[in-house]
């Protein structure tokens, strides 16, 4: 079974083809991606209407590129999967509309996929796929969650952010420092030349005793510190960036370790855009090695949004018998969609 996956929930258009062979982890045949970051950078953030229009321009050329790279014709596609939510309504509608049109034209069924499940299962695209069960730290631009994952579709949320996501904390702090959008990678690059102990920033909810996160106060603390510095900010930016990154990473690290303790699990999967952060990876690797815990990450290129994770999540759900793809081509997107509302086995 070959599954085409289309991702268009935010500012990346991704298309990929995955093959499931009945046994073992489905295999990625080809994927292609167009990032809209350059287009949105002029506005300091994603402009939803521009995002939708650009998805329309990119999705079919990317689909052709994927089929060419895989060396197959259109009718080799058995199921067309698309990101159903969560995300920007207009952007989601493009992927859903194209998937349904393609499905109808080819006489193939379609399947809507949860974007976060795509991130969660993205480490299965790598050379060293994890085994179930595991604890998952899902850290994207819009979500920060710790999950207990027993199998495909069997997800229990252990804790999540009560306000901003970790990616948002990176992005908003970076914006205060005058860095381009999305700020995470820029802030982390700037932090390389700074002293993380130059400023003492809060570690929200670090000792709350539960696995929830809060990052809104951290952003306010960064703003207060930036104001205090005034003109001196220009020469202290690297220090402030390093201190901000250290605060976010310490909270993510401590809570992940607490989740491992609480569940007694010996495997951690990190997914979502912030999972590309080098300091986070280094600290998780070191702490988990000491505890005999194995950590799995998606390949760096597949940490942020992409079509491969959508095709993979669809293939894994279909293989697990959790879904029946449909030929009712009603593209009902869900801009807000809690992960624990998915059908389970």
319 HSE (CA, 13 A, CB side): 21
User: Is residue 13 within 8 Å of residue 7, measured between CB atoms?
Assistant: yes
Stretch that binds Zn ion, among 32-40, 56-64, 132-140, 144-152 (CB under 5 A): 132-140
Residue 141 makes contact with ligand KG4 by CB under 6 A: yes
Residues 298-337 vs Zn ion: string with x where CB under 5 A?
Answer: -------x--------------------------------
Binding-site partner at residue 159 among ligand KG4, Zn ion, none, CB < 5 to 8 Å by type: none
Neighbours of 189 (CB within 10 A): 13
Which residue in the set 8, 36, 83, 140 belongs to the binding site for Zn ion (CB under 5 A)? 140
∠ CA 35-331-182 to the nearest 5 degrees?
A: 20
Classify residue 15 as exposed, middle or buried by CB count within 10 Å of its CB (0-12, 13-18, 19+).
Answer: buried
- CA-CA distance, 91 to 314, in Å (whole number)? 19
**Exactly one of 276, 295, 316, 339 binds ligand KG4 (CB under 6 A); which one?**
276
> For Zn ion, how many residues bind (rule: CB under 5 A)?
2
**Does 184 engage in binding with ligand KG4 (CB under 6 A)?**
yes
Minimum CB distance to Zn ion, residue 85 (Å)? 11
Residues 41-70 that bind ligand KG4 (CB under 6 A): none
Tell me the C-alpha distance between 282 and 288, whole Å.
10
Decide whether 103 or 275 has the Cβ nearer to Zn ion.
Answer: 275
Length of the chain (residues):
345
The closest residue (CB) to ligand KG4 is 273
Q: From the list ligand KG4, Zn ion, none, which binds 225 (C-beta under 5 to 8 Å, kind-based)?
A: none
Nearer to ligand KG4, 67 or 174 (CB): 174
Tokens for 290? 């000491």
Kindly state the helix (H) or strand (E) to which residue 232 belongs, with its residue range. none
Phi, psi (rounded to 5 degrees) for 20: -105, 130
How many residues bind ligand KG4 (CB under 6 A)? The answer is 20
CB of 147 to ligand KG4, least distance (A): 15
Q: Restricting to residues 187-206, which ones interact with ligand KG4 according to CB under 6 A?
A: 188
185 interacts with ligand KG4 by CB under 6 A: yes
Q: Considering only CA atoms, which of 12, 57, 49 is closest in space to residue 32?
A: 12
Which C-beta is closer to Zn ion: that of 78 or that of 299? 299
Shortest Cβ 138–ligand KG4 spacing (Å): 9
8 binds ligand KG4 (CB under 6 A): no
According to CB under 6 A, which one of 26, 153, 182, 298 is a site residue for ligand KG4?
182
Among 176, 277, 293, 312, interactor with ligand KG4 by CB under 6 A: 277
- CB proximity list for 80: less than 8 A, separation 6 or greater: 3, 4, 6, 99, 100, 102, 103, 106, 108, 109, 110, 111
Using the rule CB under 6 A, which residue among 45, 126, 133, 142 binds ligand KG4?
Answer: 142
Near ligand KG4 in 236-265, by CB under 6 A: none
HEC secondary structure over 275-337: HHCHHHHHHHHHHHHHHCCEEECCCHHHCCCCHHHHHHHHHHHHHCCCCCCECCCCCCCCCCC
Name residues contacting Zn ion, limited to 191-250 (CB under 5 A): none
The secondary structure element, H or E, covering residue 235 is: helix 233-263
212 binds ligand KG4 (CB under 6 A): no
- Distance, CA of 21 to CA of 24 (rounded, Å): 7
């Amino acid at each position: 079974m070959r599954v085409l996956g289309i991702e268009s929930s935010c500012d990346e258009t991704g298309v990929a083809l995955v093959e499931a062979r009945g046994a073992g982890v489905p295999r990625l045949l080809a994927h292609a991606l167009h990032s809209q970051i350059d287009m949105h950078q002029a506005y300091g953030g994603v402009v939803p209407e521009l995002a939708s229009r650009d998805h329309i321009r990119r999705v079919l050329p990317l689909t052709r590129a994927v089929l060419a790279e895989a060396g197959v014709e259109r009718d080799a596609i058995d199921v067309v999967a698309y990101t159903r939510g969560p995300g920007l309504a207009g952007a989601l509608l493009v992927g859903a509309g194209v998937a349904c049109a393609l499905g109808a034209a080819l006489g193939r069924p379609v399947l809507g996929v949860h974007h976060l499940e795509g991130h969660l299962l993205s480490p299965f695209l790598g050379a060293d796929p994890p085994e179930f069960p595991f604890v998952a730290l899902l850290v994207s631009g819009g979500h920060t969650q710790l999950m207990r994952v027993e199998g495909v579709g069997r997800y229990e949320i252990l804790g999540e952010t009560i306000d901003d996501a970790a990616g948002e904390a990176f992005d908003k702090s970076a914006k205060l420092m005058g860095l381009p959008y999305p700020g995470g990678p820029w802030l982390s690059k700037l932090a390389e030349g700074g002293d993380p102990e130059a400023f003492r920033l809060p570690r929200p909810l670090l000792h709350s005793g539960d696995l929830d996160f809060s990052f809104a106060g951290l952003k306010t603390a960064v703003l207060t510190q930036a104001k205090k510095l005034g003109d001196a900010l220009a020469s202290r930016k690297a220090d402030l960036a390093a201190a901000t990154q250290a605060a976010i990473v310490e909270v993510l690290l401590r809570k992940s370790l607490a989740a491992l303790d609480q569940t007694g699990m010996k495997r951690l999967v990190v997914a979502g855009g912030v999972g590309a952060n080098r300091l986070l990876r280094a600290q998780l690797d070191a702490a988990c090695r000491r505890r005999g815990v194995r950590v799995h990450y998606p390949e760096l290129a597949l940490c942020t949004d992409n079509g491969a994770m959508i095709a993979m999540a669809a293939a894994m759900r279909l293989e697990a018998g959790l879904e029946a793809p449909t030929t009712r081509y009603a593209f009902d997107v869900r801009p807000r969609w809690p992960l624990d509302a998915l059908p389970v086995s």
